[in-house]
Chain A
């Protein structure tokens, strides 16, 4: 039995209206405890719908989702357990913020879990250290923060519940490069320090390749592939036909192959640099 089991899940929006869409069709997969998974797929492929199902916000129309062996939609107790164990940071976290102050916002989840004020405070302080939000921001209204700070506040609110499964839906969209790096770094820290399972949706092939143990590829509401970066990015042509691509570094390696060189595959900047350096007779990283 795997930690998360998604079995034959389907879901559609707008049934019996002219706008009916089948967002997910017969999706099955399982995820092990402590894995770092990235989810990629064209716009509208069903990524956000699947993520919202994992913490019980959307209920599958058919099929089931099991967390630690329990069907999360079986009864109220299971749903509320899933809400606490699975932390979801939305694609547009701006819509997730509602507290008077950042402190109130981040404290909301832990309080709901029934922790006392002392413990809630500890959770808030731990969470802002994960996301590197300055303590003086805690008394500010979340609406007075810049885009990047709002996102940190929203992620801190989810991390403060210390979820066993952390789900982030495009956490770096719209962030500047320094903000992107900072947020990815703190997600990596959370994964290492807590051993939590992390599921992360992204449109960046480079980020998916660099961070994940496995990558899930959704295409028109179905699972196209689920495997290691190496497995996934060996399907370059198919990925392109699904609106996706291989990482920029892989493109360069593939182009060198066409020009008569014999590098090994590479999906990250470090691996590509190793391959090119050895083609040019250079050493490895200093």
Chain B
């Protein structure tokens, strides 16, 4: 474990039915760490254990065996619960489940209030968090009047206001329209790039993994692969076995190869493909 590691999973297993004769494991023998400032994406089929990992990361669940450390603190010790939650914030899939107040700024203040932060300090943090997600102008709005994407951004602001070093987001874009998705992704990227917050993003959209520093693939409760996006998306057989696919641009490149165009097989983004087409056409 290095001092650069904010969140460490050390040989973690978790069972929802550990008292049964034959317990089954939602997470099995998982070890990985999230470095300071890292953008990590987690991919995996339905039921592979992603949400369970999210809940293990800030002491909502405690490992059945193995340990989770946040800034070196063991999450299984009761005295660490609050400092752990200060350091790792989790945004759940459905924003409706985590919006607790009827007014936007009250909702954002809820987290830091629970951490007993000084009221003056809370004021500063709430404004800052709302600005970071682009919702400052809507601070007095009623939360139930917000769109899905706006609610999701308020939920993220609530987490930012707790000033965690790491934010874990569980499928934050699953129910959003294209603009809502883009807004939430841009917000997450800015937090990571401009504020140095480590991000763990759980998603079923391969396009969202393209810009990650590292991608973790979970298959049936276990880690199947870890690597840079280009390494992961070059393993086509592995992806298929795990119920995953290629990002749209890479799919298009495969179709070009089917048509006899010998295009590079490591293209992931639109810009890379356009550059390659320009180069090949000799323009």
> Residues on A close to B: CB < 8 A?
19, 41-44, 146-148, 170, 173-181, 203, 205-206, 240, 243-245, 248-249, 251-252, 255-256, 259-261, 269-270, 272-274, 276-277, 279-280, 282-286
Interface residues of B in 246-271 (CB under 8 A from A): 248-249, 251-252, 255-256, 258-261, 270
- Specify which chain A residues have a CB less than 8 angstroms from the CB of B128 in the assembled complex: none
B206 within 8 A of A: yes
A248 lies within 8 A of B207 (CB): yes
Query: Which chain B residues numbered 151 to 202 have a C-beta less than 8 Å away from chain A?
Result: 171, 174-181
**A170 — which chain B residues lie within 8 A by C-beta?**
175
| In contact, A44 and B147 (Cβ under 8 angstroms) | yes
Q: Check: B204 CB closer than 8 A to any chain A CB.
A: yes
Assess A203 versus B176: contact at CB under 8 Å? Given A255-B270, A282-B259, A286-B259: yes
Bound Cα distance from A279 to B183, whole angstroms: 34
Query: Is B149 in contact with A43, judged by CB distance below 8 angstroms?
Result: yes
B77 within 8 A of A: no
Contact B274 A259 (CB under 8 A): yes
A205 touches B178 (CB 8 A): yes
Q: How large is the interface on B (under 10, 10 to 19, 20 to 34, 35 or more residues)?
A: 35 or more
Beyond the given A173-B174, A273-B255, could you list 18 further A-B residue pairs with CB under 8 A, ordered by the A residue number? Answer: A43-B148, A44-B147, A176-B45, A176-B204, A177-B204, A177-B206, A178-B244, A203-B175, A240-B179, A261-B281, A269-B251, A273-B252, A276-B256, A279-B281, A282-B256, A282-B259, A283-B259, A285-B259
Chain B residues engaging chain A, CB cutoff 8 angstroms? 44-47, 93, 144-145, 147-149, 171, 174-181, 204, 206-207, 243-245, 248-249, 251-252, 255-256, 258-261, 270, 273-274, 277-278, 280-281, 283
A179–B46 touching, CB < 8 Å: yes
The B interface, classified by DSSP as helix, strand, loop or mixed, is helix
Contact A147 B179 (CB under 8 A): no
- Among the listed A19, A243, A270, A280, which residue makes an inter-chain contact with B144, where contact means beta carbons less than 8 Å apart? A19
Distance of A181 Cα from B206 Cα, bound (Å):
14
Indicate the member of A175, A180, A249, A282 with the most B CB atoms within 10 Å: A282
* Separation of A282 and B277 alpha carbons in the complex (Å): 12
CB of B47 within 8 A of CB of A146, answer yes
- Indicate which residue in B47, B249, B260 contacts A286 across the interface (CB closer than 8 Å): B260
Picked from A243, A245, A252, the residue with its CB within 8 Å of the CB of B249 is A252
Query: Taking the nearest CB of chain A, how far is it from the CB of B152, in angstroms?
Result: 10
Let me know if A42 and B259 touch, CB within 8 A: no
**Alpha-carbon distance between A249 and B253 when the two chains are bound, in angstroms:** 11
Q: Are B274 and A255 in contact (CB under 8 A)?
A: yes
Closest B residue to A91 by beta carbon equals B175
Indicate whether A252 sits within 8 Å of B44 (C-beta atoms), given known contacts A205-B178, A260-B283: no
Give the contacting residue for B259; candidates A177, A206, A255, A274; CB below 8 A: A274
Q: Residues of A contacting B244 with CB < 8 Å?
A: 176-178
| A273 B175 Cβ-Cβ under 8 A | no
